[in-house]
Amino acid sequence: MPTATIISVLNVLSGAVALLISYYAYKNNRLIGSVLLRYISLGFLLLGFSLFLQAATERIVSVTAIEAAKIRDLSLVAFLLYTAIQLIAYAIFAWGYGLTFFSRSPAKAAEGAALPALVMAATNAVSRKLLEGIVFVLAVYLASQAAIVLLLLLIVFHGVRVFSQTHSNLSLMVLFGFVLIFVAHVLILLAGLTLGATLNLIGNTVEFCGFVSLLFFLYWSGRVVQ
């Protein structure tokens, strides 16, 4: 099975799990009134939408983001939209964790064509501009992935601080889920830098495991509270 198909299926499953996480976070927030759960619900709602969009993009263009980066064509532009939405979602998580901590504290290639010699120079100029545009899009994509990693690092940092204050099982379980997601996005970033398809697949798999662990924790905590 092609890597693009496997990752597309993983993204559909991850998107479904993300929406379930959003639902259970919202449900648990109504029971215990947690600021963090409110932001987790909103963030995973956006993540679920972005993952479905990512899966649809991979099916339409028949490549993954890493494969698009390898061939450096304009299909890479399609991957920027869902990356931007994910960036917003992780910024929401970071903001929610920050509010939770401080609320408890004392004080995120154009192909050449055979053209007449008279227009060859103009064609070369257009090709260079197009290539520069594709390289710029690739740089923006990698910068967005790096920003997601930094936001997740901030989320994990605040998660550790929140757990150090609350010592609650819910805080620890949510932190564990975000640690898995952080590791996943580090792998995805490295895959983008090295154009490693296998590393990208591993990263997406670890991200799915992080989503499933968060879903399990939130479902379990909701049953305990009830």
Q: Could you tell me the two tokens for 15?
A: 């998107």
The residues, ordered by sequence, that sit 6+ positions from 218 with a Cβ below 8 Å of its Cβ are: 21, 24, 25, 28, 37, 174
Of the given ranges (15-19, 98-102, 105-109, 182-186), which has the lowest mean pLDDT?
A: 105-109
Q: Is residue 217 a contact partner of residue 181, using CB atoms and an 8 Å limit?
A: no
**Cα–Cα distance between 109 and 130 in angstroms, integer?**
7
Place of tokens 């792998």: 187
- What pLDDT, on a 0 to 100 scale, did the predictor assign at position 1? 55
3-state secondary structure the chain: CCHHHHHHHHHHHHHHHHHHHHHHHHHHHHHHCCHHHHHHHHHHHHHHHHHHHHHHHHHHHCCCHHHHHHHCCHHHHHHHHHHHHHHHHHHHHHHHHHHHHHHHCCCCCCCCCCCCHHHHHHHHHHHHHHHHHHHHHHHHHHHHHHHHHHHHHHHHHHHHHHHHHHCCHHHHHHHHHHHHHHHHHHHHHHHHHHCCHHHHHHHHHHHHHHHHHHHHHHHHHHHHHC
Is the predicted pLDDT of residue 182 greater than 90, yes or no? yes
CA torsion angle 210 42 164 156 (round to 10): 50
* Total number of residues shown for the chain: 226
- What pLDDT, on a 0 to 100 scale, did the predictor assign at position 76? 61
Could you list the residue range(s) of the whole structural domain that residue 44 is in?
3-225
**Region 17-45 average pLDDT:** 85
How many domains does the chain fold into?
1
pLDDT digits (tens, 9 = 90+) for 93-143: 888 877 776 665 544 333 444 434 433 343 344 444 434 444 545 566 677
Of the given ranges (59-68, 72-81, 103-112, 117-126), which has the lowest mean pLDDT?
A: 117-126
Q: Who has greater pLDDT, 191 or 63?
A: 191
Q: How confident is the model at residue 180 (pLDDT cuts 50, 70, 90)?
A: very high
Is the predicted pLDDT of residue 206 greater than 60, yes or no? yes
Q: Who has greater pLDDT, 201 or 58?
A: 201
Q: Is residue 201 a contact partner of residue 210, using CB atoms and an 8 Å limit?
A: no
pLDDT digits (tens, 9 = 90+) for 134-170: 454 556 667 777 888 888 898 888 888 888 888 877 7
**Cα–Cα distance between 168 and 189 in angstroms, integer?**
32
Query: What type of residue is 142?
Result: L
